[in-house]
Chains A and B, each alone.
Chain A
Amino acid sequence: MGDTLSYFRQDMLPHIWCPGCGHGTATGALVRAIDRLHLDKNKVCIVSGIGCSSRAVGYLDFDTLHTAHGRALAFATGIKLARPELKVIVMTGDGDCTAIGGNHFIHAARRNIGITTIVMNNNIYGMTSGQYSPMTPKGFFGTTAPYGNVERNFDLCELAKSAGATYVARATSYHVPLLIDLIEKALLNPGFSVVEALVQCPTYMGRKNKIGGPVEMLNWIKEGTVNVKAAAALPPEKLKDKILIGELYNKQEGEYTADYDALIARVQRKYDKFQGGLYGCASNSD
């Protein structure tokens, strides 16, 4: 492994995340995956929206774009369409990605555009101090759910799968080697990839729900998850209320910008032929 610090804008450190926050772990995992693949820094563009998760790009020494709330995938779609050769990565959170940005998420997945999306899921709006998000489990507490959340939460990976993503995986800030492996595989998938990283927010999620500090939260995450490979051999009662981690879906289908380029080439050929046939001259050379 190379020197991962060189991937950071060290003059921007220290970061703003709270002590014990899991966002640094997830950001570190992304950097290690990039390092393993020896990606050219100048061919990587990292885009984020708004929220604690989205602050990550400010610390990363790549071409980065910090955009509007929920819109990272829309901006990233523009970048990928204009420059398909770039490795475009989106760093987002559960609030940013599934509430205000939910529509962009399902349509990016539906198009299978070659963007790698890392969703840091801490189950709460951290930056605005602990409101419940669409990924706060039912019954959990937030500043806007003082008697427990009455709404059901999304299963992000199921959502990604059913919307059309071609690589879907989940790991946690406890299972760091797994997280790095999955991000690495996601970066190699030509189509739309989603890696959900379950991370701890001790400041709001932990405190509001009396889970404890960072260590207790990591234990909570560890106890609440089962690797999908192990799960195959477990009886249903052992899987009750457990969250599956590991590679959950991997299927090759046409990537959007590649299909788009193929379409242009096909129509161009037809047009050239048409011009030649009808007017008996070569295509316009002006």
Chain B
Amino acid sequence: MIEILARDGLAREMKWTHDGQSLHSPNLLFLRSRGLLHFGRGDGFLSADGAVEGKFTLFSGGSWFLERPMAASSPLPPSSPVIPAFPNIPAGLEAAPGEAYAASLQGFRASGGPVLPVTGEYPPDLASNGAELLVYAGALEHSFRPRQFAEELVRLKEAAGYGRLVYAPGLGEPAHLSFLAYCGIDLFDSAPLLAAARRGHKLLPGWRADATEKGVCHCPACEGGGEGPETVYMHNCYAALSEVRLVRSAIRGGRLRELVENRLSDAWQVAALRHLDLRHYEFCERFFPVARPASAGMRALGRASLTRPEIARFQRRVLERYRRPPSAPVLLLLPCSARKPYSSSLSHRSFRGQIDRLGNPGAVHEVVVTSPLGVVPMELQSFYPAGSYDIPVSGDWDETEIRVLRDQLARFISAGRYSGVVCHLSGMDFLGGALPPTAVSTGGARATSHSSLEDMGRALAGLLEGMPKVGRRKADAERIASLSRFQFGPGGEALAECCEVQRRGNDRRVTDGRRTQLALLQHERGLLSLTMDGARRLLGRTGYEVEIGDFRPSGTVFMPGVLSAGRDIRPGDEVLVTHAGALRGVGVALMSSSEMERAKKGGAVRMRHHLSTKGGGE
């Protein structure tokens, strides 16, 4: 039985229980065979000679070519998970043997064991058969060719679904564990730890030290002294074990991508990550949450961060979904601030003060220009990752960042059809080409200096001259409409019709103007949380609906209850729960719609409001 404990992108923390033993994944299977070095401190084992007492054990042995089943000398507990002996023949090889053992695997699969090797052409029933562990036989070979690795991974995940374990034989160096888990691989083994030990490589996450070098580590093996292969193997096992625990912690905390980027130390990993980001965005993006806790604020520190799926998604949605507030035709481009939300920072408070002094703030559209997100309209400032990200600020920009910023800004300005543009940025002259010729630059050497602020005031005043004053209620409602459309896609703006917004610190309470609350925007969550009344306004208008069977949802809606789900739903999204087109409640999606389509169990939506409750506040 498999239980999913936590998700982060394609990665899962899972608990696999079999015959009374359980194993938490991601994890390593330590190899156990009489003639091999033995490391006994792990949680899971891959054994060629009998069960490891009290530990989760998978079994391996025999030979397909020699037509030899597992040794009779190792009696197995009933219904043990056994990895069949099959030759590792890669997909796509023109040689015929691919078919060879496909036939021999038929028999194995028919036996209904929990383990299924997959290689070459997948069996047509892969999605539906009962196997709990898939052995991704070509993983090690594919890792030598990053493009193929990324392609095969997507193929495997799409074919196999997202709720069972995948084992990648021969992979498991500490430096690779976070990346492999990020790819949705759950089990690894100690073979690479052994091979490295034989070659005198002491492995650490992201580092390879020479076995003869003293004092690089204080794990129990290294503290014991010695530099022979035995000591080094034990060290490698300890290092992998603590890394895999860190990986599980990162998945639980929603910070796996940060750990992955921290550990990038081999070229193939960097290349494979790039392939996934750039060439398989459509597939990967679906699994990344739209909101994360503040503790998992995004650290976009290096080049690898620039192509994160959440960043790419934010950029795309700004261009594809977003519409500016109609009454704000004057665009004011502002720099980002270290403090989030931007509006709480000292610099932005002084910008805001300057805008307010002009008497028509509703006509000014404040938009932050920032790397790596591109452009962030101020009303989206709490939306992940805009609401909590950290970037190194040194005033240096690399070509990719510049290109993305320039492109994003040019397209944004052109779509917004602004009547005037004030560019209050400093040190970003490279953006010049993206601005219309009439744009006024006021940032100067320092955007917060008294003279720069005065310049900005003058420029804005000139553009605002003669414009009708936009009332505060209208300005607020338009900004909520823009945010709602960004969150729910076209149709989302229906939420904000004739609404009224009350500010409470960084939060916004959205009502219908007659005391009925429609939604709450909390900076911490960054998304609009709907009430039943708010949800009614969106019913039938967006792709954020989960259709359930005929029951009254409360608590959590579990998988068998879900009939269908809107394509755009991502983990963390606000969703309407419906039956036969009627609203049954509102909640937070726990998985993406792709996963809802495939999963047979597990929580799909955590309900916030449902029919029997009054759709009041939180």
Are these two chains actual partners, yes or no?
no
Residues of chain B at the chain A interface (Cβ within 8 Å):
none
